[in-house]
């Protein structure tokens, strides 16, 4: 069974600072995918970034990067130069290698950017 | 050009009623999912369909019945609604693949309130 742990229920960060959201995972599969989603107060789930377990480089998408440490089973999301619009819930999720498989989500981190 | 759409966005109903939520995706994906987000924001898979065929059926009461008339649509019908069914229901879709192509894209969610 797969498990995702997000240990930070809430974080407050000053605008323009970088922020790291923690995510650790547990799986016995050698192949898996890791995802981060953002859920603003409006409620939609927005895909941010993907990291494959065999990817050699850390994933980056604009201001988002993923600090992937496979041996530690961690996949932390780094947001550079935070903006007020980054205030939201952030979910880490994992998907096993099988086709059509579900995402297993962590409990989320509520990020608040302070002006 | 909405990618994954759900209707209605809000649904308020009495206990014991039957209701349906509709989902449509125009991304050309062949796999669709229903997730439930509870009051603590925890997201959990309910069902997934691939090309109209049921693939995942988590431990969900029989009162919940998904229906996929074609691979672009996945509806959720709920019979005899109970107070505990109050939640946000998300539809999602993805390609039937692995790696980054397996990214699931979510609809805006349907907030169901059972009185």
Contacts of A43 in chain B (CB under 8 A): 88, 108-109, 111
Select the residue of A31, A45, A108 nearest B106 (Cβ to Cβ): A45
Quote the DSSP letter at residue A60.
E
Q: Is the pLDDT of residue B56 over 90?
A: no
Q: Which pLDDT band holds residue B2 (cuts at 50, 70, 90)?
A: confident
CB contacts under 8 A, B 2-31 vs A, are: 31
Contacts of B11 (CB under 8 A, 6+ apart): B19, B21, B110, B111, B112, B113
Q: Per-residue pLDDT tens for A70-84?
A: 999 999 999 999 999
The more confidently predicted of residues A100 and B46 is B46
Interface membership of B90 toward A (CB under 8 Å): yes
Mean pLDDT of B98-103: 84
Nearest CA in chain A to B30: A100
| β-strand pairing of B73-78 with B53-57 | unpaired
**Separation of alpha carbons B62 and A60, rounded Å:** 42
Per-residue pLDDT at B74 exceeds 80: yes
Report the pLDDT value the prediction gives residue A41, as an integer from 0 to 100: 96
A43 in reach of chain B (CB within 8 A): yes
Distance set, CA B107 to CA A1, A32, A41, B15 (Å): 26, 24, 15, 25
Contacts of A35 in chain B (CB under 8 A): 103-104
Low-confidence ranges of chain A (pLDDT < 50): none
Peptide bond into B8 cis (omega under 30): yes
* pLDDT tens digit sequence for A92-103: 999 987 766 889
Residues 46-85 of A with CB under 8 A from B: 46-47, 50, 52
């Amino acid at each position: 069974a797969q498990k995702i742990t997000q240990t930070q229920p809430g974080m407050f960060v000053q605008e323009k600072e970088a922020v790291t959201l923690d995510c650790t995972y547990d799986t016995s599969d050698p192949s898996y995918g890791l995802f981060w989603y953002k859920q603003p107060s409006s409620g939609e789930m927005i895909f941010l970034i993907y990291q494959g377990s065999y990817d050699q480089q850390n994933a980056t998408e604009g201001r988002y990067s993923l600090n992937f440490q496979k041996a530690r089973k961690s996949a932390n999301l780094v947001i550079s130069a935070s903006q007020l619009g980054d205030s939201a819930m952030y979910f880490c999720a994992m998907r096993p290698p099988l086709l059509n498989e579900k995402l297993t989500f962590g409990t989320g981190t509520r990020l608040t950017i302070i002006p | 050009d909405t990618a994954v759409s759900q209707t209605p966005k809000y649904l308020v109903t009495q206990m014991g009623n039957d209701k349906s939520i509709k989902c449509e995706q125009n991304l050309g994906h062949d796999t669709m999912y229903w997730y439930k987000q509870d009051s603590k924001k925890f997201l959990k898979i309910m069902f997934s369909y691939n090309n109209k065929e049921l693939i995942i059926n988590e431990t969900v009461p029989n009162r919940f019945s998904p229906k996929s008339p074609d691979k672009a649509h996945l509806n959720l019908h709920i019979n005899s609604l109970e107070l505990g069914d109050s939640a946000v229901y998300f539809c999602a879709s993805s390609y039937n693949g692995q790696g980054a192509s397996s990214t699931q894209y979510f609809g805006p969610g349907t907030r169901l309130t059972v009185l």
